Chains A and B, each alone.
Chain A
Amino acid sequence: GTRIVYERAFLMNLRNSPISQ
């Protein structure tokens, strides 16, 4: 199947999302 690929910038953006806390 398709691999789930994330760029560094995308991962960094999720750092401060409320779900990440």
Chain B
Amino acid sequence: EVLVAPDISPDEHKLQYAYALWYSKRNPGKLGALLSYDQNLKLIGRFASVEQFWGLYSHLSRPSELNTHTDFHLFKIGIKPMWEDEANQRGGKWVVRLRKGLVSRCWENLILAMLGEQFMVGEEICGAVVSIRFQEDIICLWNKTASDLSTTQRIRDTLRRVLHLPPTALMEYKTHNDSLK
């Protein structure tokens, strides 16, 4: 089973959670339309320690170097980056739209805050997605309980702080339920 935490050695720094990193790319043409969202998701790797994270991350392209319509999904092991997953069904996400040129720095700041447990919302964080698009890039942070207002507000405040967003930056909360409709 690929979705179990990898082993770590005693001299590594264990993370609170193990994570899996996924990649997806929208395929143009007929084949792309035939493939489900699930079939487009490719597992890149898993990690359970800080050292394993850097080992994986340093071999990856930065988000700004990716082609348009490519996404990275970083989720806790055991949670698939899909609305349909049990952990996401009642959840939602903060959506941050970024003008071109900011995404690599913001993505790194976000995942370091997530791995380091800076959000302080217990089990609530599910994962993060970065989406490279034509005119802008989008970063999303998914959490379990969309109806928990104090948690979603706390996540928003931490997100704004760790991304170093200007007060005018637009942040929007979407429940997965709304996205499905």
Chain B nearest CB: distance from A3 CB in Å?
A: 5
The reply to whether B14 and A4 form a contact with Cβ atoms under 8 Å apart is yes
Q: How large, as a class, is the contact surface on chain A?
A: 10 to 19
Interface SS majority for chain B: mixed
CB within 8 Å for A11 and B58 given contacts A6-B50, A20-B50: no
Task: Identify the A interface with B (CB < 8 A).
Answer: 3-8, 10-12, 14-15, 17, 19-21
Instruction: Point out the residues of chain B lying under 8 angstroms from A6, CB to CB.
Output: 13, 15, 50, 115-117
Q: What's the Cα separation between A5 and B15 when bound, in Å?
A: 8
Task: Identify the B interface with A (CB < 8 A).
Answer: 9, 11-16, 50-51, 54-55, 58, 109, 112-113, 115-118, 162
Besides the contacts A8-B109, A21-B58, what 19 more A-B pairs have beta carbons closer than 8 Å?
Answer: A3-B117, A4-B14, A4-B117, A5-B16, A5-B116, A5-B118, A6-B13, A6-B116, A7-B118, A8-B118, A10-B116, A11-B115, A14-B13, A15-B58, A19-B11, A20-B50, A20-B51, A20-B55, A21-B55
The reply to whether B112 and A11 form a contact with Cβ atoms under 8 Å apart is yes
Q: What's the Cα separation between A14 and B54 when bound, in Å?
A: 8
The reply to whether B113 and A14 form a contact with Cβ atoms under 8 Å apart is no
The reply to whether B50 and A11 form a contact with Cβ atoms under 8 Å apart is yes
* 26 A/B residue pairs, CB under 8 Å, sorted by A: A4-B14, A4-B16, A5-B16, A5-B117, A5-B118, A6-B13, A6-B15, A6-B116, A7-B116, A7-B118, A8-B109, A8-B112, A8-B116, A8-B118, A11-B50, A11-B112, A14-B13, A14-B51, A14-B54, A19-B12, A20-B50, A20-B51, A20-B55, A20-B58, A21-B55, A21-B58
